[in-house]
């Protein structure tokens, strides 16, 4: 695949999008981005793919990851096409920007070309907050991508990055499954790094290189909500307690008068029966 690839910095192009003009590095700053290209507007496979991205948007949001589409037509055409995409996606909204590339000048610079067709492809780069490419897919225009696989690959990158690439994810890995420890990590280091322990596969070579450990992924963008959840829960608990407390007392003056009347009548009744009920 000629052109920019893993580890390369995406050129800081100024792009026209459905959300206005911006420089790519400004968009990439401070988060991961999934940048995905499409051959053209009002084409069947692309409509299904962009609709799926809209449906999956909450999954990317949960991980604090931005989406950025590109299609080889102009902004006005994109805006018209979005109406079809949203209708096809049963109302899921296309909230992410789509880059315009009507003259196919941007796709070669982003290495989003199909070398067989010498034309647009279904390329997808996962770009880190440092504007460097961390993963690339290159599909021909005849093959739609699998959004579950995009998400799975993204989770793998986030997991490895969270552990400074000292872990890797094995075949068909999913986020709640064990990961493997990098061969660059010794057993001694692994014991310190993974207090939960690890399991070494007993293989004929006895080289002990296949070690599994448990590691859970944390949806990053939602951790800041924890203090809010705590304060809201505390508030609800307080309100509940106040409510229960109020239920023990008369809630209006009329009720209080009725209660006092009941007590006085009860006292009279017991007095008649010769029972001493005291003065209070």
Catalogue the active-site residues.
Answer: 46
Applying CB under 6 A, does 46 fall inside the site for ligand BEZ? yes
Q: Is 51 in the site for ligand BEZ (CB under 6 A)?
A: no
Answer yes or no whether residue 16 interacts with ligand BEZ by CB under 6 A.
no
DSSP states of 100-152: E-TTS-HHHHTT-EETTTTEE-EEEEEE-TTSBEEEEEEE-TTS---HHHHHH
Q: Which is nearer to ligand BEZ, 60 or 139 (CB)?
A: 139
Task: Decide whether 122 or 163 has the Cβ nearer to ligand BEZ.
Answer: 122
Nearer to ligand BEZ, 40 or 219 (CB): 40
45 interacts with ligand BEZ by CB under 6 A: yes
Cβ-based neighbours of 27, under 8 Å, separated by 6 or more: 33, 66, 68, 97
Say whether residue 20 binds ligand BEZ (CB under 6 A). Answer: no
Based on the shown chain and the rule CB under 6 A, indicate whether residue 127 belongs to the binding site for ligand BEZ.
no
Under the criterion CB under 6 A, does residue 69 sit at the interface with ligand BEZ? no
Q: Of 5, 12, 142, 186, which lies in the binding site for ligand BEZ, with binding defined by CB under 6 A?
A: 142
Phi, psi of 67 (to 5 degrees): -110, 145
> How many whole angstroms separate alpha carbon 100 and alpha carbon 106?
9
Q: Which of residues 169-198 bind ligand BEZ (CB under 6 A)?
A: none
The answer to whether 74 and 102 are in contact (CB under 8 A) is: yes
- Of 23-31, 43-51, 63-71, 181-189, the window that binds ligand BEZ (rule: CB under 6 A) is 43-51
Q: Judged by CB, which is closer to ligand BEZ: 121, or 213?
A: 121
Q: Which helix (H) or strand (E) holds 167?
A: strand 167-168
Question: Which of residues 2, 20, 44, 227 is near ligand BEZ by CB under 6 A?
Answer: 44
Residue 103, both tokens = 């003259």
Residue 43, interface with ligand BEZ (CB under 6 A)? yes
CB 168 within 8 A of CB 155: no
Tokens 């999934």 belong to residue: 34
Gap between the Cα atoms of 33 and 98, Å rounded:
13
**Residue 141, interface with ligand BEZ (CB under 6 A)?**
yes
Alpha carbon of residue 49 to chain centroid: 18
Site residues for ligand BEZ per CB under 6 A: 39-40, 43-46, 141-142
């Amino acid at each position: 695949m000629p052109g920019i690839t893993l580890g390369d910095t995406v050129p800081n192009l100024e792009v026209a999008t459905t959300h206005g003009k911006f420089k790519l590095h400004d968009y990439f700053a401070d988060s991961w981005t999934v940048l995905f290209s499409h051959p053209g507007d009002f084409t069947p496979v692309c409509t299904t793919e962009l609709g799926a991205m809209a449906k999956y948007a909450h999954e990317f949001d949960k991980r604090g990851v931005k989406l950025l589409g590109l299609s080889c037509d102009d902004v006005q055409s994109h805006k018209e096409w979005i109406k079809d995409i949203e209708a096809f996606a049963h109302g899921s909204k296309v909230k992410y920007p789509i880059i315009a590339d009507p003259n196919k000048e941007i796709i070669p610079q982003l290495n989003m070309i199909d070398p067989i067709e010498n034309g647009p492809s279904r390329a997808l780069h996962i770009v880190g907050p440092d504007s460097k490419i961390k993963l690339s897919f290159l599909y021909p225009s005849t093959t739609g991508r699998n959004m579950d696989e995009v998400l799975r690959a993204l989770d793998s990158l986030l997991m490895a990055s969270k552990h400074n690439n000292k872990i890797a994810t094995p075949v068909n890995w999913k986020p709640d499954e064990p990961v493997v420890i990098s061969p660059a990590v010794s057993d001694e280091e692994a014991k310190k790094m993974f207090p939960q322990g690890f399991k070494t596969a007993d293989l004929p070579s006895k080289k002990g290189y296949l070690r599994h450990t448990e590691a859970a992924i944390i949806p990053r963008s939602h951790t800041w909500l924890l203090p809010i959840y705590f304060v809201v829960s505390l508030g609800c608990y307080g309100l509940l307690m106040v409510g229960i407390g109020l239920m023990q007392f008369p809630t209006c003056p009329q009720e209080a008068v009725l209660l006092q009347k009941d007590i006085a009548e009860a006292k009279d009744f017991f007095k008649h029966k010769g029972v001493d009920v005291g003065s209070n």
